[in-house]
Chains A and B, each alone.
Chain A
Amino acid sequence: MRERARVPLALLVPAGLGLAFLVLPLAGLLVRAPWGTLPQRLAEPGVLTALRLSLQTSTIATLFCVVLGVPLAWLLARVPFPGRRLVRALVTVPLVLPPVVGGVALLLVFGRRGLLGSWLDSTFGVTLPFTTTGVVLAEAFVAMPFLVIAVEGALRGADARYEEAAATLGAGRWTTFTHVTLPLVAPGVAAGAVLCWARALGEFGATITFAGNFPGRTQTMPLAVYLALETDLEAAIVLSLILLVVSVTILAALRDKWITSA
C-alpha cells in the first residue's frame, strides 16, 4: 500500500488511460455480446473447426518461427557481419507491411506461378496456397519478427562472457549455444514465442490473401469472424469472444508456468 502511494500522478494518469484504451474495446464486445443465444452459437460446428484450426496453425507457426527465428536472432546479436543493420531492418519488414500485401508477396514467391512456388509445384507437386500449410506459412511470416526481435534483445542483454567461460571449459560453439546461451535467454525466447503465437492467432490479412478461406482447411477464427461480420454482427462478436477467451486463458496459464518462474 505504501508503495502505491509513491507512484507519481504524472505516471498513474497516463498509465490508467492507456489501460482503459486497451481494455475498453473489449468491454464493448462484452456489452454487445448476445449472451442469450451464446450456447447454440457455440454449438455451431463451424466454430469449433475454425477454433481448432486456429490453435493448430498458430502453434505450428510458432514452432516454425522458433526453429528458424532463434538462430537468426543469434546471428544478428552475436556475429558481426557487413550489412547487419540492413538485415536487422529487413527482419522487421513484415511488421511494417500491411498483412494483405504480405499475403500477395507470399503468393508471388510461393504461389503457383511464384518464384519458388512454380519450382515446388513442378518438382515435388507441392502447392502451398489454399492449404493449411499455407496458413502456417502466412502466420509465420507475419509473426516471426516478434520472436526474432524479442530473442535478439534477450541475447544482447545476456552476458556473452558466459559463452567464453563455456568455451574455456571445452564447449564448442554449438554446445555452448544449446547448453549455455539458450538456457540463459530462455525467458526471452518464451516471451518472444508467446508474442509470436498471439500474433499468429490473430493473423487475418496475409492468411486470407495467401491461403484463401475454406472451412476446415484454411478458415481460421479471424477469417470466420470477418465473414460473420458480413452478415451477422452478433455472430462476429461471439466468435471474437471465443478467440479472446481461449487465447487469454492459454497465455495466462503459460505466463504462470514459464515466465514468472524464470
Chain B
Amino acid sequence: MTALDAHLLVQRGDFDLDLRLTIAPGEVVALLGPNGAGKTTALRALAGLTPLAAGHVTLGGRDLDRPDRRLWTPPERRPIGVVFQDYLLFPHLSTLDNVAFGPRRHGMPRREARAHAADWLARVGLAAYARRRPRHLSGGQAQRVALARALAVDPTLLLLDEPLAALDARTRLDTRAELHRHLTGHPGATLLVTHDPLDALVLADRLVIVEHGRSVQEGDAATITARPRTDYVARLVGLNLYRGKADGHTVALSDGFELSVAERADGDVFVAFSPSAVALYPDRPDGSPRNTWPATVTGVQRHGDNLRVQLTGPIGAAADVTPLAAAALRLEAGLEVWAAVKAAETRAYPAQ
C-alpha cells in the first residue's frame, strides 16, 4: 500500500524536475542530493506551493494535483504538513498558538486546539515554553516547535526541508535523535529533504538520490553505501568509483585502464573501493594479484586519524594513509608514488 504516489514534473527557467516518488504509510524517505538538484522544488510541488507542469500527486488514493485533468488542490486543503528549513514560526504568536494554528484552521474550537497544542508541545518536551515567543527559543527548540506544529494537524504526508541544517553540530546530534523518534512514531508518510548524508542515513528507511532534477539512485542505506552509482553518491559515502566494461575478473575503464576484481562480472559495471584499501609506495611494488599504477599527489588533508591523499594518474583516486606512512613517504603535493589496491578489496556490480 502506498500513501504517496507522485510524478513531479516542474519547469522553472532552464531547470526541470522529473521525479517519481512513492512512499508507504509510516515510511520515511530521504530525498538526498547536492544543492540545486531540485529537492526543495520537489517538496514545494508536493505541498502545492509550486505548480506542476505535468504528472500527478496522489495521496491516500486521492488526486491532489493532476494538470492533465485540470485538477489542483491549494496547499491549505492538502493533508500535508511541512517543516520549513528555517522553521518559519510565526513571530507574533506564542509557541502554543503556533502549534494551535493548524488545528484552529482545521475547524477545531479554540480551547480544544490549545489543549491539543499543549499536548504536542509536551510530546516534544517543550511544555514549559508554551507562552514564549519564537524569538526567545533556541534553534533546537524552534525546530521541535516547527515539528509539533506540522504534526498537530495529523498530516497524511509530512515534509521536512533540511530540518537540521540551521543547527550547530552539537544541537544537531541531539535533535537528530529526537527527530528520529518522532518520525518513527508518525503513522503517515514522511519525506525528508536533505543534503546531509548522515541525516538521510539515520532518519530515513529509504533514500532517493537526486541530481539535476532526476532520481539517480534509490534504495536503503546499506545498498547505497555499498554500491554507489554516481560520483556524487560515491563522494557522499566516501568511496572511489569507476565505470567500465567487465570481462571475467578484468574491468576495462573508458580511458583504457584495467582493474582486476575479485568477483566475476560481465558487461557494464561499476567498480568501487574504499580509500583505505589503497596503499602507497615510493617504488613499484610486486607480487600478489594487485592493481598498481603510478600516481601524482595533488593534495593531502586530515581525515579522522589518518590523512586522505588525492591522486591523479591513469585513474583519479583517494587514498587513506596513516600519519606514520605519510612521514615515511614524505608526502606532499607533486610527489610521484605508486598506488596499489588488492582485487579482493574491490567490489564490482552491474551498472544497469
Chain A–chain B contact at Cβ < 8 A: yes
The segment out of A50-58, A124-132, A159-167, A249-257 that lies at the interface is A159-167
Indicate if the CB atoms of B81 and A168 lie closer than 8 Å. yes
A-chain residues with CB within 8 Å of residue B75 when the two chains form the complex: 164, 167-168
The segment out of A6-14, A147-155, A169-177 that lies at the interface is A169-177
> With contacts A164-B49, A164-B75 known, is A169 near B92, CB below 8 A?
no
Q: How far is the CB of B209 from chain A (nearest CB, A)?
A: 25
A162–B101 CA distance with the chains assembled, in angstroms: 12
Q: Mark B68-99, 1 if CB is under 8 A from A, else 0.
A: 00000011111011101000101111000000
B149 CB within 8 Å of chain A: yes
Indicate if the CB atoms of A169 and B91 lie closer than 8 Å. no
B-chain residues with CB within 8 Å of residue A179 when the two chains form the complex: 101
A184–B93 CA distance with the chains assembled, in angstroms: 10
> With contacts A162-B90, A180-B90 known, is A169 near B149, CB below 8 A?
yes
B-chain residues with CB within 8 Å of residue A162 when the two chains form the complex: 88, 90
B47's partner among A159, A168, A175 (CB-CB below 8 A) is A168
A186–B48 CA distance with the chains assembled, in angstroms: 28
The interface on chain A, measured as residues whose beta carbon lies within 8 A of the other chain's beta carbons, has a size of: 18
A183 CB within 8 Å of chain B: yes
A164–B48 CA distance with the chains assembled, in angstroms: 10
Number of A-B residue pairs, CB cutoff 8 Å, is 61
A90–B46 CA distance with the chains assembled, in angstroms: 39
Interface size on B, as a range, is: 20 to 34
A162–B82 CA distance with the chains assembled, in angstroms: 12
Give the interface of A toward B (CB within 8 A): 159, 161-162, 164-172, 175, 179-180, 183-184, 186
Indicate if the CB atoms of A165 and B82 lie closer than 8 Å. yes
A169–B91 CA distance with the chains assembled, in angstroms: 16
| Chain A, residue nearest B86 (CB) | A161
| Chain B, residue nearest A179 (CB) | B101
A169's partner among B48, B49, B105 (CB-CB below 8 A) is B105
Q: How far is the CB of B76 from chain A (nearest CB, A)?
A: 5
B106 CB within 8 Å of chain A: yes
Q: How far is the CB of B26 from chain A (nearest CB, A)?
A: 21
10 A–B contacts from the bound complex (CB under 8 Å): A167-B49, A167-B76, A168-B49, A168-B76, A169-B101, A169-B102, A169-B105, A169-B153, A170-B153, A179-B101
Indicate if the CB atoms of A184 and B92 lie closer than 8 Å. yes
A-chain residues with CB within 8 Å of residue B90 when the two chains form the complex: 162, 165-166, 180, 183-184
Known: A162-B90, A168-B49. 11 other contacts (CB 8 A): A164-B84, A165-B84, A165-B88, A165-B90, A167-B49, A167-B76, A170-B76, A171-B101, A172-B74, A175-B105, A179-B101
B-chain residues with CB within 8 Å of residue A184 when the two chains form the complex: 90-92
